[in-house]
Structure 1
Amino acid sequence: MQDAHNGARDDATSDALGRIADRFGRFAALDGQDDPLYAALAEIIGGDAELMAPLLEAPTTQHLPVLLLAALHDRILAGEPHPLAAYYASRAHAGGHRAPDADLPALLRDFMRREDAALRALTRSRTTQTNETGRCAVLRPALQALAHRLGGSAEAPVEFALFDFGCSAGLNLGVDRYAYDDGVETVPGATPDAPLIRTQWRGERPTALLGDPAWRAEHRMGVDLQPVQPDDEIATRWLRACLWPGDAARRERLDRALADARRHPVSLLRTEDGLSELERWIATLPEGVTPVIGNVWVLAYFEPQALRAHVERVGRLVRERGLAWISGEVGKLAPLPDLPPAPKGESPASTTLWTLQWRDRSGTVRTEPLAWSHAHGRWVEWLDPARAA
């Protein structure tokens, strides 16, 4: 009986490693192409069960290449002395400019064996949290679109209360304080050292949504399974570890956003039931304030049944409490019966579809697509040019 039990467990482990290997293979071939080091690491790890094994410590929804790569990056950023650090541009003082070469597989295996306990602890206790402020390039016009639908203007802005679901360090709650450059216009931030969010428009640029804000927000809050306090050195190192080591611009933007968040602290709550916290928070808001929940690349971590319950519950709050919902997720997770065509050359499985659900002034609940964008906001294709004009 014990042998049968062990055999079933071994089969389950083998199946899990097979799925993880497939994900590493896809990552190396597709997503990882933005960073030569990560593409090379993914190819090596995906071919070695021992190197993939730390991911088995994580929940199945976190059996993701980016989680293990982030755990590796965290150990590098922690300053662990090892020749592997020379491949990481984020450790420029340790070399940081060595391109993937024939020595990389052996050095990676040696480092991962030395750091096995620490890597397993990280994959067991952490989740992927990039807190990508580049997505504010789309969140900003999405909030403006909502404000216009509610009758707001620059002269008479509507009052929002911003609620970040899956907030990490809550950095996207600073959306109205950041600087923006869309290739046509540069908008200064609230301070000279505000993070600069760059993007490019594909297709028609919705100029009416890019002027002075038709909204303002005095109330902001975030919830997360593992919120990150902006002044927590270890936790914010994990945010840096979740960035890809070759992307210096994102590192600088993150550091500026963290500094901004430290100057403008908000309540970030640890909870497994964020919508209950939202309901309690809505009850405390002044009359006339529209609560707005936002989520970006969060719903993919839900199991199917939990996702259905979440969408239904948010919809009820829209109907009954006047909540507005801005969602930025892969196409299949959008709260729409039919998807708009994805941009040419892009896949709805890896591109972000932004949607808006709100209750209009007649009391009717409306849901519509707003935009497609790059996962990190590097480009935006607006889907509503007529109403944005």
Structure 2
Amino acid sequence: MAGTARRGGATDETGRYAVLYPALAEAAHRVGATAIGLIDVGRPAALNLCVDRVGITYSDGVFLGDPDSPVQESCSIVHGGAVPDRTMPPVVARVAVTRHRPDVEDALLAEDPPVRFCGDVVELLPEAIAAVPEDALVVVTTTWALSRLSIPRRPSFVDRLREAATGRTVAWVSAEGVGVAPSVPTLGDRPASGHSIVGIALYEGAEHRVDAVARCWSRGRILDWFH
């Protein structure tokens, strides 16, 4: 059975690492990035920023991440898919964009806490992106977070990513309910279908590419990877 074993800390984000790790590695691979700066949006604990500090075992035999981490996660692969066996590039910056600052940092973040921007998560995106070194690929992550924005505000989130991409490449890795993430293909699925879609978007100048790369269930504990 898919799940997570961890020592203490928050369990708010169980299952998300199994979705994020291969998607982040794929985004970096597509642009040839050798270093990435992670920006997590909308999750109070910002545990997505620890994705390179955990170990993930997939039911198809692939292992990704750190085998010595105290956080070990498992994920069931369904429908004959295969998770790409790629390693994430080094993470050189960790940035959290949330409405409020957490009372306590999780153990995986406490020794090297992220840069935090608190307030309007859409309007703070440009500052967060500017905090990532120029020689690193900016990768913004959202996991079941955009539903907290009103529907009219969600396109503004994408607008901020495109605006930032006038001077550098920006990637967006998302795991959101069907139809929640603007521009991410829905594959003909209906909203509130009981699963979510994993998307990879790349913005560079006026060019952009947005793909749906997987479906997932149970907040990432079950994964159907397409590519």
| TM-score range for the pair, normalised by the shorter chain length | 0.7 to 0.9
- Measured after TM superposition, the shift of residue 293 of structure 1 is 0.8
Tell me, in whole angstroms, the C-alpha distance in 2 between the residues paired with 1:315 and 1:349: 29
Distance 1:173 1:271 in 2: 18
Structure 1 residues 318 and 357: alpha-carbon distance in aligned structure 2, compared to 1, 3 A threshold: farther
**Which protein has the larger Cα radius of gyration, Structure 1 or Structure 2?**
1
Structure 2 residue ranges without an equivalent (≥5):
1-9
**Match of 2:156, as an amino acid?**
A
* Whole-angstrom CA distance in 1 between matches of 2:20 and 2:152: 27
TM-score between both structures, scaled by the size of structure 2 = 0.82
**Cα deviation per residue 1:200-235 (whole Å; 9 max; x = unaligned)?**
11123435x224x1412110010111232434xxxx
Q: Which runs of 5+ in 1 are unaligned?
A: 1-128, 153-157, 232-257
Question: Equivalences for 1:8-87 in 2 at 5 Å?
Answer: none
Q: How many residues align?
A: 218
Structure 1 residue 145 displacement after superposition: 0.9
> Which residue of 1 is the match for residue 177 of structure 2?
330
- Report deviation, 1:142: 0.3
Out of 334, 351, 369, the position equivalent to 2:195 is 351
Contact kept in structure 2, 1:169 and 1:229, CA below 8 Å: no
Residues 1:363 and 1:279: Cα distance change in structure 2 (over 3 Å): same
Is this contact kept in 2: 1:170–1:268, CA < 8 A?
no
CA distance in 1, matches of 2:19, 2:134: 28
Tell me which protein shows more strand as a share of its residues: 2
For the structure 1 residues 295 and 188, does the alpha-carbon distance in structure 2 shift closer, same or farther, using more than 3 Å as the test?
Answer: closer
- Normalized per residue, the structure richer in helix is 1
Residue aligned with 2:92, SS: strand
Of 8, 28, 51 in structure 2, the residue corresponding to residue 147 of structure 1 is 28
1:371 aligns with 2:220: no
Correspondent of 1:198 among 74, 92, 102: 74
Over the residues paired in the alignment, what is the CA RMSD in angstroms?
A: 2.7
Structure 2 residue corresponding to 1:210, chosen from 56, 70, 85 = 85
Are 1:162 and 2:38 counterparts?
Answer: yes
Q: Does 1:136 align with 2:17?
A: yes
**Relative contact order (alpha carbons < 8 A, sep ≥ 6): 1 or 2 greater?**
2
Report the 3-state secondary structure (helix = DSSP H, G, I; strand = E; otherwise coil) of the residue aligned with 2:102: coil
- Do residues 264 (structure 1) and 130 (structure 2) align? no
Taking the aligned partners of 1:268 and 1:228, their CA distance within structure 2 comes to: 10
Partners of 1:297 and 1:286 in 2: CA distance: 27
Q: Give the TM-score, by structure 1 length.
A: 0.50
Shift of 1:287: 2.7
Q: 1:163 to 1:336 in 2, by over 3 A?
A: same
Task: Name the residue aligned to 1:220.
Answer: 94
Answer with 217-226 or 280-289: which moved more. Answer: 280-289
Q: How does 1:102-121 map to 2 (within 5 A)?
A: none
* AA at the equivalent of 1:169: A
Change (3 A) 1:357 1:337: closer
